[in-house]
Amino acid sequence: MVPIDPDAARLNDMLRSSEISGMLSSYGKRAYFPKGIVAQSQEAATAATLANATAGVALEHSRHMTHRLFGKSGMPVSSDQLVSYAPTAGDPQLRSLWLREMIRKNPSLANASITEPVVCAGLTHAIAIAADLFVDAGDAVVIPSPCWDNYHLIFSVEHGARVSGPGLFDGNLLFSWTSLERTLWEIEQEKIVLLLNFPNNPTGFTPSEAMMAELVRVLVRIAEHGKRLVVIVDDAYFGLFHDDSASAVSLFSLLCAAHERILAIKCDAATKESLVWGFRIGFITYGVRGLTKECAHAMVQKTMGVIRSSVSSCARPSQSLLTAVMQDARYREDTDRVVREMARRFAIVRQALSKWVGTDSLRPYPCNSGYFCAFACSGDPEQLRRYLLERGIGTVALEGHLLRIAYSGVDPETLEPLIDSLYQAAGELWT
């Protein structure tokens, strides 16, 4: 058995008052942020007024010695803000700004017991951190289908979890929690890890407020029967809600205070919400009923330990630029414009689909949010994908029965012809 460092043991002691203690993976129990080079450098950054000889950086009069191009006028941030190391948990100002945005979009979080968001190297990294801290080989992980294909790599391939994939839609493509609820009740292990993603990738569907409330009731009943639930909420496309049928609040905000044995983990990112796809900035936030400041501190420290042992810290240029843009007076105007444009494209797609109602070769999944729409195929979707690609149209085939299109990346005037081409190609192949 791998020994636990005294610093990790102290963090585990902090968590003993919370059900989180019984949810951690073996690695999660061992994880801690060491009081080594990085911690000592961060302490010296404010206290070493005479000379700071801690970090391995080249400085001249306390400024980073770097390329002159980075100091060129017109840059929204200084050269130091581009090339300096970022703190392990991320730029404090950025973390504060992101928390403020989370609360603006989910007002109930203002009084919730949650941690401050920790910066990750993209949303995938946030989910991977959650898996590191809470998933051991053989653990029960439930990921409803259809889903993003990266989940399989993280939970099954890397961590060796026993993954179940109950369907979110029945044979008539109607949304339902029935299959998920049945799967959860059938699991014998005390701890269950559940991953939910709305707006959903690949279908572009978000449940209604009533449907979300129904799920919360189900999960609370399961927790009341003694199960420990780790619910990872993938909010990659949060905020992109195109009509009133979609709940406009994060599931995290409904679960973070639902029950002492339900740990909610919000994994989100600036990627889509802030229109910075290549910045690779994600965030991970924890919430559970009765979360104390001591427990929150312990979870942030363990998360920092995972980051330190993998990427050490996330990229400074992305964080500095995002901090600058989030403080710009035009930030909300620019992000809201894109949200409206995605809703406009969704409306065009919905109208284009109306002429193909009753066509069996492609049946659209319910869609009301996000970037995508998806189709259940009567034939092989990979065959259709290749057939379309030969004609200059790029699509994605998934799970052996589904074709996904990202209308987010297609100009509005091209969307109706695109939908027509999909159905015409399917008809040529399968009828």
Domain locations in the chain? 6-33+88-326, 331-430
| Class of CATH domain 6-33+88-326 | alpha beta
Structure tokens at 357: 């109602």
Residue 236 binned pLDDT confidence (cut-offs 50, 70, 90): very high
pTM for the whole thing? 0.96
State the Cα–Cα distance between residues 106 and 251, nearest whole angstrom: 10
Whether residue 34 is predicted with pLDDT greater than 70 in this model: the reply is yes
Q: Given this model, what pLDDT does residue 48 score?
A: 59
Q: What is the mean pLDDT of residues 341-361?
A: 97
Q: For residue 284, list its beta bridge partners.
A: 118, 267
Strands 402-406 and 372-377: antiparallel
Q: What is the mean pLDDT of residues 92-120?
A: 97
Whether residue 372 is predicted with pLDDT greater than 80 in this model: the reply is yes
Given a contact cutoff of 8 angstroms between Cβ atoms, the answer to whether 180 and 168 are in contact is yes
| Displacement of CA 12 from its chain's centroid (Å) | 26
| Class of CATH domain 331-430 | alpha beta
Helices (H) and strands (E) in the chain, counts: 16, 13
Q: Range with the lowest mean pLDDT among 76-80, 286-290, 346-350?
A: 76-80
Helix (H) or strand (E) holding 423: helix 412-430
> How long a stretch of residues is the chain?
431
State the Cα–Cα distance between residues 8 and 219, nearest whole angstrom: 30
Q: Range with the lowest mean pLDDT among 59-63, 219-223, 373-377?
A: 59-63
